[in-house]
Amino acid sequence: MTGVDDRRQARVALTWLAEPGTRSVHRLVHQLGPVAALDLLLAGGAPERALRAAVAARTATGDARAVAAEALARGDRLGARLVTPEDDEWPPQVAALRNLVLPDATRRVDVETDPPLCFWVRGAWPLDDALTRSVAVVGARAATPYGSHVATELGYGLADREWTVVSGGAFGIDSAAHRGALTAGGRTVAVLACGLDRPYPMGNAALFDRIAETGLLVSEWMPGAEPLRPRFLIRNRVIAAATGGTVLVEAAARSGATQTLNRALGLGRPAMVVPGPVTSAMSVGGHEVLREKPRSRLVAGVAHVLEEVGRIGDDLAPLARAPERPRDRLDDDATQVLEALPRRRPIDLESVAARAGVDLRTAMRKLSMLEELALVVRRDGGYALAPPPGDGG
Amino acid sequence: MTGVDDRRQARVALTWLAEPGTRSVHRLVHQLGPVAALDLLLAGGAPERALRAAVAARTATGDARAVAAEALARGDRLGARLVTPEDDEWPPQVAALRNLVLPDATRRVDVETDPPLCFWVRGAWPLDDALTRSVAVVGARAATPYGSHVATELGYGLADREWTVVSGGAFGIDSAAHRGALTAGGRTVAVLACGLDRPYPMGNAALFDRIAETGLLVSEWMPGAEPLRPRFLIRNRVIAAATGGTVLVEAAARSGATQTLNRALGLGRPAMVVPGPVTSAMSVGGHEVLREKPRSRLVAGVAHVLEEVGRIGDDLAPLARAPERPRDRLDDDATQVLEALPRRRPIDLESVAARAGVDLRTAMRKLSMLEELALVVRRDGGYALAPPPGDGG
């Protein structure tokens, strides 16, 4: 009797016996299926001594299948569903973790980086849909006002362009990115390192509730699981693997915040860094990555991020047709006049001239020319920038 | 009769007839020598129509040899000497300009980038000595307080490590770099785009006088020459070619301030960029370069710059053997004490404590320990940094 429910229960039990990412467990599941893999482990048949010891220690405290059954019931009460590779909404891109090899990996968290066995999910959308067009925005908890500002702007801009903003729900950069996406009315996913019923940090509980309402809360760990320190590092591989690219906003020197970015690099995904003042300790980590990892890429805003992750025509097109824009041929006065114009509410001729630093006559001549080039529109007796082509407005 | 004086006069006359860098003029000088090249041009024999027209227009206003003789006399009165490739102090590295080819060069200043025919120099040192260990620090005139701070720190740190700081004498980043070097009691060279008797900008006249006292003022243009707009761009090739590498501190988008850096890249010299807040318009140009030029390098401080330009053992060695330096094992107090010490003139115990922000007792204990580690020396009743190993001093 190895029905769907047994397989689901077995996957949950396996994440209780050994931390997610453990390579030998994943390999057993791959070879035998989750139920037989669990049977083997519980019978003391783990291929490695360390894993055998871990399983023995765990099973001394409880029955793995009973723990998993209880977790599934607890998930139901909580409104969290279990998603496994057998489900339609499983995000296939996390399978890339099978081939992740980190250079100079010696720590357990850098070696045991296999794909998740299952996800717990709170929120309305299918997990795969939410992650198809997604970008991770990560960074330090001890963010500066500058970093928080930039992360909020990135979160807002990405969500506004219908990209899902994925982060880890921590204070600082993570929270700012989530909040920016929420402010844009967009989608955001928090990948947590503990059970979905014990949001960590507690101070973000209200934020997690908002995320669950319009986005998703996701975790590899069963309800009730504690946010143990190594779990944040184990979790980071999922953030890198589930998304189209990772942006690091702020990180201190040699800090854990650069770890997700290194995983993105290891997976061949775009690994992006927002630079900052060289006088800021919180920009040292990002600058180090930019100096040491030739494949990492400096990004200064949403447009740069989309250039890296935008495999979809819509996002790349405006950049590709840059060379032949009429505004590239404008003379200095015309450029100044154009740059003096607001995008929304029109301003009158005198204001244009004053802001552009040209005389009235020049302003008028250049405005007529810019109107002919469809770069400027007259509206309400004033002048404003024309909406970009294809804006539909 | 083609004596030394004729050759020198001919070189000066040639820079009056055609702007420095003009490839065909340099080629003629290379083939015929300066005197015969001048004769040929004055006889209307320039190989290109544009050059013939330029020479004709110039000679309609005066006699080239007389103008050069007058300039040499004026230079003498001013205390400025003429340095030519025949002189011992000629900096040989500028010859690399002969092979400079800039991608997509269409503007005159990007095509006519041959080596200088001569330099006017004010200041005591030999020009080649001053430039052997030199770094260019350049950037925007409209620098932000952040940019000025970083340029001053770079200027100070490079000069303190006995590198010459080369810049263009402009407001903003240039001035900050020069001032930083002067504050360190170090060497700085301003390469101007006009005659040395009409310092531009006038507001920097006092700065230029200080530079001339302890460093050098240098120009390709004869005394009396005006700071015409294109001359700044013509001048920039010299800043890139004369130095071991160029650091860009701040630049607006697509601004002229990135031009010197592009010349350094074209010459295969280290081309370095200090990043900044992505929210600052004055960091956009530098970030563009870092994104678009794979050979450009992000630098966050003096140590990074020295890593790029430090071909000389002294500067690279500390990095290579970094893991085992005694100072890496110092505690925080000891590090603060060490960093509070000047390299040159010793300071007393009270000053050490005040600068390090520790109490007298701690300062004394840490100083004894640092003395034992041979990191600190007692001299003239005070304390100073020990000279680096192998310094010979």
pLDDT tens-digit readout, B36-80: 999 999 999 999 999 999 999 999 999 999 999 999 999 999 999
Contacts of A360-369 with C-beta under 8 Å, sequence gap 24+, read: A362/A333, A362/A337, A363/A337, A366/A333, A366/A334, A366/A337, A366/A338, A367/A337, A369/A334
The answer on pLDDT for A65 being more than 80 is yes
**What pLDDT is attached to residue A311?**
60
CA distance B316 to A300: 32
**Hey, is the C-beta of A389 within 8 angstroms of any chain B C-beta?**
no
Q: Do B290 and A290 touch (CB under 8 A)?
A: yes
Question: Is pLDDT of B229 > 70?
Answer: yes
A364 versus A18: which is more confidently predicted? Answer: A18
Contact with chain B for residue A293, Cβ under 8 A: no
Segment among A113-122, A175-184, A202-211, B353-362 with least mean pLDDT: B353-362
B108-315: in CATH 3.40.50.720: no
> Chain A within 8 Å of B66 (Cβ-Cβ)?
no
Cβ within 8 Å, pair B275-A284: no
Task: Give yes or no for B328 touching A (CB within 8 A).
Answer: no
Contacts of A300 in chain B (CB under 8 A): 278, 283-284, 287, 291
Query: Are the Cβ atoms of B275 and A298 closer than 8 angstroms?
Result: yes
Find chain B residues with C-beta within 8 A of A277's C-beta.
Answer: 146, 276-277
Instruction: Say if A97-319 and A324-385 have the same CATH topology.
Output: no
Q: Is A284 on the interface with B (CB under 8 A)?
A: yes
Lowest mean pLDDT among A200-214, A354-368, B15-29, B295-309: A354-368
- Tell me what pLDDT residue A184 has: 96
Nearest to A181 by CA among A170, A192, A165, A205: A165
In this prediction, residue A329 carries a pLDDT of 62
Residues of B in contact with A149 (CB under 8 A): 279
Give the tens place of pLDDT for each residue, A83-120: 999 999 999 999 999 999 998 888 899 999 999 999 99
Are A284 and B300 an interchain contact pair (Cβ–Cβ within 8 Å)? yes
Nearest residue to A123 (alpha-carbon basis) of A233, A228, A219: A219
Domain ranges of chain B: 4-64, 108-315, 324-385
Residue A101 CB neighbour total at 10 angstroms: 10
Q: Give yes or no for B171 touching A (CB within 8 A).
A: no
Query: Closest Cα of chain A to B392: distance in Å?
Result: 33
Instruction: Give yes or no for residue B107 having a pLDDT over 70.
Output: yes
Interchain proximity B278–A276, CB inside 8 Å: yes
Please give the CATH number for the structural domain made up of B324-385. 1.10.10.10
Q: Which of 125-164 (B) contact A at CB < 8 A?
A: 146, 149-150
- Top-confidence residue, B377 or B144: B144
pLDDT at A194 over 80: yes
| Cβ under 8 Å to A: B residues 68-127 | none
Mean pLDDT of A344-355: 82
Write the CA distances from B293 to A290, A297, B259, B308, integer angstroms.
Answer: 13, 12, 13, 16
| Beta-carbon contacts below 8 Å between A and B | 56
Alpha helices in B220-359 (DSSP H): 229-242, 259-266, 284-292, 302-309, 313-320, 332-340, 349-356
Chain B residues lying within 8 Å of A148, measured CB to CB: none
Q: How many angstroms separate the Cα of B335 from the Cα of each of A135, B168, B339, B358, B362?
A: 41, 36, 6, 11, 12
| Partners of B81 in beta bridges | B121
- B290: contact with A, CB 8 A cutoff: yes
ipTM score for this prediction: 0.75
- A303 in reach of chain B (CB within 8 A): no
Q: Does A290 touch chain B (CB under 8 A)?
A: yes
Give the mean model confidence (pLDDT) for residues B328-332.
Answer: 66
CB contact under 8 A, B287 and A298: yes
Name the residue among A274, A287, A294 with its Cβ closest to that of B278: A274
Given a cut of 60, whether residue A318 has pLDDT beyond it is: no
Average pLDDT of chain A is: 90
Q: What is the mean pLDDT of residues B197-221?
A: 95
**Contact between chains at B284 and A300 (C-beta distance less than 8 A):** yes
With contacts defined as CB-CB under 8 Å, which chain A residues touch B284? 300
CATH top-level class of A97-319: alpha beta
The pLDDT, as a whole number, for residue B189 is 98
* Burial (Cβ within 10 Å: 0-12, 13-18, ≥19) of residue A349: middle
pLDDT value of residue B311: 60
B336 or B33, which is more confident? Answer: B33
* Among the partner residues A146, A279, A291, nearest to B149 by beta-carbon distance: A279
Closest chain A CA to residue B282: A277
Residue type, A66: A
CB contact under 8 A, A298 and B304: no
Q: pLDDT confidence of B373, banded at 50, 70, 90? A: confident
Question: Model confidence over B81-102: pLDDT tens digits?
Answer: 999 999 999 999 999 999 999 9
Chain A CB contacts of B290 below 8 Å: 275, 290, 298
A302 in B contact zone (CB under 8 Å): no
Instruction: Compare CB distances from A287 to B146, B275, B283 and report the shortest one's residue.
Output: B275
Q: Single out the residue of B157, B250, B161, B234 nearest to residue B191, CA to CA.
A: B234
Task: Evaluate whether A11 touches A117 at the Cβ level (below 8 Å).
Answer: yes
Tell me what pLDDT residue A217 has. Answer: 98
- Place A375 in a pLDDT band, splitting at 50, 70 and 90: confident
Q: Which residue among B278, B294, B301 places its CB closest to the CB of A275?
A: B278
